[in-house]
Amino acid sequence: MTYTLQTPLLPTKLFITSESSGFRHLYLVVKPSASSPNYHIRAITAGNWPIVDRPIYVDTKRQLVYFTAKKDTPLETHLYVASYSEGADPLTVVRLTELGYSHTVVMDEKCERYLDWFSSVSEKPRCSVRYLVWNERNIFPSVSETMGLFVKGGKEDDEKEWDDKKLSKKVPIGEFFDFINNDGVKIYGCIYRPENYVSGKKYPTLLSIYGGPKSQMVTNDYKYPRFLRLFLATRLGFTVVLIDGRGSSDRGVTFESYLKGRMGTVELEDQIAGLNYLASKKMGVDLERVAITGWSYGGYLSLMALAQYPRIFKLAIAGAPVTQWELYDTAYTERYMGLPSENQEGYRKGSVLNWADKFPDNENRLLIAHGQIDENVHFKNSELLVSALVKQNKPHKLQPYPTERHGLRHANVAEHFETLMFFWLVNYL
């Protein structure tokens, strides 16, 4: 992210983001000039929290910069403001949006008002226009409580709308949890209880996973209809669990780079630790009946879970999985794995094909779905896996979709996959 300040007759200045401190933060760069031949770089923000990769807004008159970050909690995005004047403290940052929601903000050019699109896991998205006000005692603005367009809403309005539509059942609401893993790192997750949940009782459990770089599934924003497939699982009596383990985004370089050079071999540690935590708290997880499912990188980890931990995961449903990193986009793969010639062991251990002999010998434990015209994760990945499984005489079911690319874009195909998926979960888990 870069933003150039238009300063006629003065040295060129620009904002950049950098993770040199361990977290993504804003820096002001002053380019060399006749009077100052060296670059000058100064931190505008600092701390153990990240700037989010979204546009920034600069008020040159007041020397303020507005940005989106996850300072207060990694589960929510908020609008913040900091000063870039000489001598400003990079630790002094002011939040402008309300806690308890995730916010997406667009600000006007004068940095006097902004459009705020916000939601939470329990409240639908709504929008408001907010105005900023200043007073002489503070360089930072506050949000006006009297000016602007305020959109009323919340749980009461949601309930009224559901009643108006004569819908007797609401969208499931997730419950956030966190735990400390074996290395002393805090991990966040979200659990959706089955519709017929009774406290203290165990239920068949579906672990939904992505687990790869630049992803975050556990966030405090509205999930319908994105999580519709998972919500259907709760209607059928399953506990659904999501966990953002090490390697997921917006937690700092150390957290995010945990899988560097060893993809497919470390991500499942935090997932299993989370399942054990939930089971120890008697939160509706049955460790004897755990299925794992995911798409793309999540499909890859679903395969690795069944191969590496067949005693923990009874069933895997893998969609469009990478099975050998040499087959995937080199820009992505080499960013996280390095060159194959320099990390041969990492590529070998990270290939599902080399785990083919570890898959279980029982029937009805592995379902693979893949679009045959997938332009992202090529169908060749699943072809090679099936060949390896056949060679090892390992039971599996491959469901190809001739008309589909990386996602299931046709409604009838999505319906077919969901019917197949839930048939497997209901009958084999």
290-319 pLDDT, tens digit each: 999 999 999 999 999 999 999 999 999 999
pLDDT at 205: 98
pLDDT at 29 over 60: yes
pLDDT greater than 50 at residue 166: no
210-236 tens-digit pLDDT: 999 999 999 999 999 999 999 999 999
What's the confidence (pLDDT) of residue 156? 54
Cβ(320)–Cβ(370) below 8 Å: yes
| Two structure tokens written together for 416 | 């077919």
**Ramachandran angles phi, psi of 420, nearest 5°:** -65, -45
Structure tokens at 176: 């956030």
pLDDT of residue 40: 87
Q: Look at 166 and 107; give whichever has higher pLDDT.
A: 107
pLDDT reported for residue 101: 97
pLDDT level of residue 170 (50, 70, 90 thresholds): confident
On the question of pLDDT at 137 being above 90, the answer is no
Candidates 249, 374, 382, 396; catalytic one:
374
Report pLDDT digits (tens) over 11-22.
Answer: 788 999 999 999
| pLDDT tens string 234-253 | 999 999 999 999 999 999 99
Any idea which of 7-11, 186-190, 411-415 has the lowest mean pLDDT?
Answer: 7-11
pLDDT interval class at 153 (50, 70, 90): low
**Residue 237 Cα to chain centre, angstroms:** 25
Specify the pLDDT at position 305.
Answer: 98
pLDDT at residue 422 in the model: 98
Domains in the chain and their CATH numbers? 4-151 (2.140.10.30), 175-428 (3.40.50.1820)
Per-residue H/E/C for 103-169: EEEEECCCCCEEEEEEECCCCCCEEEEEEEEEECCEEEEEEEEEEEECCCCCHHHHHHHHHHCCCCC
Structural Rg of the chain based on CA atoms: 24
Q: What element of type H or E holds 302?
A: helix 297-308
If 0-12 CB within 10 Å is exposed, 13-18 middle and 19+ buried, where does residue 218 land? Answer: buried
Residue 38: band (very low, low, confident or very high) from pLDDT cuts 50, 70, 90:
confident
- Lowest-confidence region among 17-26, 83-92, 121-130, 141-150: 141-150
Spot the catalytic one: 122, 128, 257, 406.
406
Position 7 scores a pLDDT of 64
Whether the pTM exceeds 0.95: the reply is no
209 has pLDDT over 60: yes
Give the per-residue pLDDT at 149.
81
Residue 55 has pLDDT above 90, yes or no: yes
Of the chain, the percentage scoring pLDDT greater than 90 comes to: 87
Closest CA to 337 of 300, 372, 371, 368: 300
At 346-360, the pLDDT tens digits run 999 999 999 999 999
Q: Give residue-wise pLDDT tens across range 379-425.
A: 999 999 999 999 999 999 999 999 999 999 999 999 999 999 999 99
More confident residue, 313 or 33: 313
Question: With bands split at pLDDT 50, 70 and 90, how would you rate the model's confidence at 161?
Answer: low
Question: Which candidate in 248, 296, 302, 382 is catalytic?
Answer: 296
Check residue 164 and give its pLDDT. Answer: 41
Count Cβ atoms within 10 A of the Cβ of residue 253 and give its class: 0-12 exposed, 13-18 middle, 19 or more buried. middle
Residues 172-203 as b or e (16 or more Cβ within 10 Å = b): bebeebebebeeebebbbbbbbbeeeeeeebb
In this prediction, residue 146 has a pLDDT band, given cuts at 50, 70 and 90, of: confident
296 is catalytic: yes
Instruction: State the average pLDDT for the chain.
Output: 93
